[in-house]
Amino acid sequence: MNSPLPFDRRAGAAATSPLRWLLPMVLVLLFLAILIWLPWQSREMENNERQEQLIADTLWVEQTIRFQLERNEENLRTVGLDIAGGHLEGARRHARLQSLLKNGRELQRVLLLDAAGAVLDASDDTPPASAAPSPVLSAPSQAAADIARTGKHGRYSQPQPQQPGHPSGDGRAGIDLMDYHLPLFHGGRYVGSLVATYQLDTLLEDMVPWWFAQENQITLIDRDDNTLARRSSAGPGRGVYTHKRPLDLPGASVTLFTDSVKGEPRLLPNLLVGSVVALSLGLVWSLLALWRHISRRLEAEGALRQQMSFRTAMENSLVTGLRARDLEGRVTYVNPAFCQIVGYPPEEMIGKLPPMPYWAPEAMADYQLRFAGVLAGNIVPQFETIFQRADGVRVPVLIFEAPLVDNEGRQTGWMGSILDISERKRFEELNRQQQEKLETSARLATMGEIASMLAHELNQPLAAISSYTTGALNLIKRATGPVDAATLQPALEQASAQAQRAGRIIRSVHEFVKEREPQRQDIAVSTMVDSIRDLIDLQARKFSVAVLTDIPPNLPAVRADRMMIEQVLLNLSRNAIEAMQEVPVARRAMRLVASHDALQDQIRIAVIDQGHGIAADVAGRLFSPFFSTKAEGMGMGLNICRTAIEFHGGALRHDANPGGGTIFTFTLPAALKTPHPIS
Amino acid sequence: MLHIVDDEEVVRDALSWLAASRGIAARSYAGARAFLDAIAAGFDPEGDCVLLDVRMPDLNGVAVFDQLVARELTQRLPVIFLTGHGDVPMAVDTLKRGAFDFFEKPFNDNALMDRVEEGLAGSRRAGETAQVHARLATLSAREREVLDLILAGNMNKVVADKLGISMRTVEVHRAHIFDKMQVKTAVELAGLLK
């Protein structure tokens, strides 16, 4: 009712949970994809960058080489023009040739050949003898020389490994050499040619800057990919980043091939990548942990929700009112049953301090007293009181209070359960009325049983009266003279006595069946016994039972309802008399014995028979309603007797008579005052 | 003699007084046993009548009546039942079995006494009839034949002729018959046997 139910609102969200999960999952996947893609991308970029760097560097190296070669060509052409013009001779010419070598170490040697191919001069320190035979040019060099002379343009020869003993070589075998033939013309006439021999590996060593060589293996290759020269100061290339650049020399097919010593950029050692991966793993782990936590939490919430709905259902189904109060007496909780009992909606009670709206004005002092006790911390665990409903009706309630303790064991208030006992009260009242009605009907049933006997018994005195009077009349009619009064007197006296007897019987029956509320009065036992004595005697005579009473004259009076006790006495007497039907007439004696138990101030009355006694299996059910050993019995007699005796605060019990038969004994409280029998 | 059987002394006393007021001799019994004892001791029921209470503590009236039936006394001893409330069907049953009458208490006393007187008279008659039958039983076969003819109004001579015997023999038979039937004249004999 008023209980906050925070979970209700979220109950619907559980149904859309797949959707709710989708977005974070997609985001996380996207994030992971980017995380994976980024390092890859950066690696790609680095890759490209390296490649491009290599290409740029290679280009630069090629330009450098080409530039150097072209400068050498230019120098040669200058010298060649001088030589062809005949301006240079002898030592000067030799010096010029030597000076050419100084421009670059790559030039191993410069030869001046005449038109016939003989060496005129050489850059070597020791000029060859003029008689030197024509130098032995390698075949490709010779071919290049021919083409150059024909074409009148400088031309390179295809590189060729150096021949051992080759005059132009420095003696090292296997070194590739490349010749540049520059034909010299003077006035259109071929006058010779300058041949510059390049040492390719030196070319590489001199032309390629150190920083480039540090990172790459540089190779010069011919058209068949044969290595002509190689510089690999930083070790062999990895073959990952490579570039080929033809040197574009007329006549020679030489390609510059660079191969970086760097491998592909590695992925993992990368700090960025490492941290990203670590972070991703951390993220995934924490997501999983969160997910586990959430699912556990959802589970707990589900269980809690179930508990809550269970509790709510329980509270709603309760007919017992529940009310919680804090330590100041403020109402913090009421359940529907409580609202129903007091007839107020919860919002009119929650948070209220006493006096509460359901306190009945007449019992206000009572409530205040009890509430003061609550504030002092001591309460009555169970009590009955009255609530006033909203419509003014008073409701009797039974309240149980117990301390309300929070999860830390601290008392936070009081929890009370309130039972509406008006039903119970009404039922008790109904029960009481029922019991009284039952007693009445049982009394009437008892009467019914003895009614026929009463008719018989009443017939006796009536018949006697009739006979006496008829006889008297007969005498009077038949008499011829005056009738002797002495003759009639005994008959008329008898008739009168019988009329009185009949009247007494009728009066006692009338008294007995009269219905009324129980009235307690002080009454002597003897008075009650006397008033039913005629009824007892009727039965006793029928079964030839002698009735003996033993009631002390100084017996205190009892405080009792006369009719009820008389009925009990009559019932017990009747049972006693009927119990002796089967025993010999000599033993048929019933005794009514009364005594005073001074210790407990009780009057004890015993009805003693000498009949068949009570069998063990019967004894247990003796007082049960509707149990009877008699064919025509209703089984109400002893039950009602006991109820009647207990109504007076006494007890009814039965014992075996040591002399055979049964003793029924009941006790009644003695009257407070001195006995004054009512008669 | 009226026999009053009732366990109530008052009733017995009252009925005796009533009977006495009508000039009827009565005898009281305090219970069924007392009455049956008296019967067993042997008494002449002729001219007697019984007033029998149905409800008695020792033995009820019907049981007493059954014993009377068993002793074949009911023909000569009229039994009038005095019943209480509710005993009527039982009383009617006894009537069918030979009871003289029944009265429900409280009863009209003089009407009861009238019936008692009728009962007494009936009883007396029944006694006389029984005596006549007993006397007839003492007659011989020839005497019965003679008696029948005499009752038919025949003179001695006619009787002698019809039977083929002498007048003298008829007169002897006639004297024996009168003697056995304890009568003096033929008229008296006819009155006895009518």
DSSP state letters, A494-517: HHHHHHHHHHHHHHHHHHHH----
Considering the domain A434-515 in this protein, what is its CATH number?
1.10.287
Closest-approach residue (CA) in chain B for A495: B14
pLDDT along chain B (194 residues), means of 10: 88 90 91 89 83 83 88 86 76 86 83 91 84 84 86 86 88 88 83 76
pLDDT higher than threshold 50 for residue A182 = yes
Distance from CA of A498 to the nearest CA of B (A): 8
Region of poorest pLDDT, from A397-406, A509-518, B146-155? A509-518
Total residue length of chain A: 679
CA–CA separation, A157 and A101 (whole Å):
19
* Six-digit token string for B10: 């008052």
What is the reported pLDDT for A525?
92
Please give the interface size between A and B, counted as residue pairs whose CB atoms are below 8 Å apart.
74
- When pLDDT is cut at 50, 70 and 90, the band that residue A3 belongs to is very low
- A656's enclosing H/E stretch is strand A652-656
**Is residue A542 less than 8 Å (CB to CB) from chain B?**
yes
* Six-digit token string for A297: 């939490």
Q: Do B106 and A463 touch (CB under 8 A)?
A: yes
- Across A230-252, average pLDDT: 82
Same fold flag, A14-267 and A434-515: no
- Across A120-134, average pLDDT: 59
pLDDT higher than threshold 80 for residue A515 = no
The CATH homologous superfamily to which domain A318-420 belongs is PAS domain (3.30.450.20)
Backbone angles phi, psi at A415, to 5 degrees: -110, 125
Are A149 and A192 spatial neighbours (Cβ–Cβ below 8 Å)? no
What is the reported pLDDT for A430?
85
Region of poorest pLDDT, from A68-82, A436-450, A580-594? A436-450
**In this complex, which of A452, A475, A542 lies closest to B21 when CB atoms are compared?**
A475
Mean pLDDT across chain A: 80
Domain locations along chain B = 2-134, 138-193
Q: Do B11 and A460 touch (CB under 8 A)?
A: yes
- When pLDDT is cut at 50, 70 and 90, the band that residue A289 belongs to is very high
pLDDT higher than threshold 70 for residue A125 = no
Amino acid at B115: R
Q: Do A455 and B110 touch (CB under 8 A)?
A: no
**What is the CATH T-level fold of the domain B2-134, as seen in this structure?**
Rossmann fold (3.40.50)
CA–CA separation, A110 and A107 (whole Å):
7
CA–CA separation, B117 and B108 (whole Å):
14
CA–CA separation, A212 and A260 (whole Å):
9
- When pLDDT is cut at 50, 70 and 90, the band that residue A526 belongs to is very high
What is the reported pLDDT for B16?
92
**What's the predicted TM-score (pTM) here?**
0.38
The CATH homologous superfamily to which domain A14-267 belongs is PAS domain (3.30.450.20)
**Is residue A661 less than 8 Å (CB to CB) from chain B?**
no
Region of poorest pLDDT, from A308-312, A514-518, B109-113? A514-518
Amino acid at A400: F
**Is residue A467 less than 8 Å (CB to CB) from chain B?**
yes
For the stretch A466-478, pLDDT in tens is 889 999 988 888 8
Distance from CA of A626 to the nearest CA of B (A): 28
Region of poorest pLDDT, from A161-165, A354-358, A564-568, A615-619? A161-165
Report which of residues A676 and A567 the model is more confident about. A567
CA–CA separation, A290 and A299 (whole Å):
14
CA–CA separation, B166 and A258 (whole Å):
206
- Across A416-438, average pLDDT: 82
What is the reported pLDDT for A607?
94
For the stretch A348-379, pLDDT in tens is 888 888 778 888 888 888 888 888 887 777 77
Contacts of B84 in chain A (CB under 8 A): 455-456, 459
Amino acid at A106: E
Q: Do A466 and B85 touch (CB under 8 A)?
A: no
What is the reported pLDDT for A675?
44
What is the reported pLDDT for A590?
93
Q: Do B21 and A544 touch (CB under 8 A)?
A: no
Of the CATH numbers 3.40.50.970, 1.10.10.1800, 3.30.70.3280, 3.30.565.10, which one belongs to the domain with range A519-679? 3.30.565.10
Domain locations along chain A = 14-267, 318-420, 434-515, 519-679
Are A568 and A666 spatial neighbours (Cβ–Cβ below 8 Å)? yes
pLDDT higher than threshold 70 for residue A445 = no
- When pLDDT is cut at 50, 70 and 90, the band that residue A604 belongs to is very high
The partner residues of A324 in beta bridges, in order of sequence, read A333, A415
What is the reported pLDDT for A448?
65
Contacting A with CB below 8 Å, chain B residues are: 8, 10-11, 13-15, 17-18, 20-22, 55, 57, 82, 84-86, 105-107, 109-110, 113
What is the reported pLDDT for A174?
67
For residue A144, what are the contacts with CB-CB under 8 A and spacing of at least 6? A155, A156, A157, A158, A179, A181, A251, A252
What is the reported pLDDT for B85?
60
Interface with B, mutate which of A474, A477, A541 (most B CBs under 10 A): A474
Backbone angles phi, psi at B159, to 5 degrees: -60, -45
**Residue with the two structure tokens 């069907």:** B89
Contacts of A462 in chain B (CB under 8 A): 105-106
Interface with B, mutate which of A454, A470, A505, A543 (most B CBs under 10 A): A470
**C-alpha to C-alpha distances, A212 to A208, A259, A265, nearest whole angstrom:** 7, 11, 18
For the stretch A265-287, pLDDT in tens is 666 556 777 787 788 888 889 88
**In this complex, which of A466, A474, A542 lies closest to B21 when CB atoms are compared?**
A474
What is the reported pLDDT for A450?
59
Interface with B, mutate which of A450, A452, A456 (most B CBs under 10 A): A456
* Six-digit token string for B72: 């074949």
* Six-digit token string for B48: 């007697």
Report which of residues A80 and A515 the model is more confident about. A80
pLDDT higher than threshold 80 for residue A519 = no
Contacts of A474 in chain B (CB under 8 A): 18, 21-22, 110, 113
pLDDT higher than threshold 60 for residue A164 = no
Interface with B, mutate which of A454, A457, A467, A469 (most B CBs under 10 A): A467
For residue B189, what are the contacts with CB-CB under 8 A and spacing of at least 6? B147, B150, B151, B177, B178, B181, B183
**In this complex, which of B8, B10, B18 lies closest to A471 when CB atoms are compared?**
B18
**C-alpha to C-alpha distances, B133 to B146, B165, B180, B192, nearest whole angstrom:** 17, 27, 11, 10
Report which of residues A174 and B127 the model is more confident about. B127
Axis crossing angle, helix A562-579 with helix A637-647, rounded to the nearest 10: 140
pLDDT higher than threshold 80 for residue A173 = no
pLDDT higher than threshold 90 for residue A566 = no
What is the reported pLDDT for A668?
92
CATH class of B138-193: mainly alpha
- Across A210-236, average pLDDT: 83
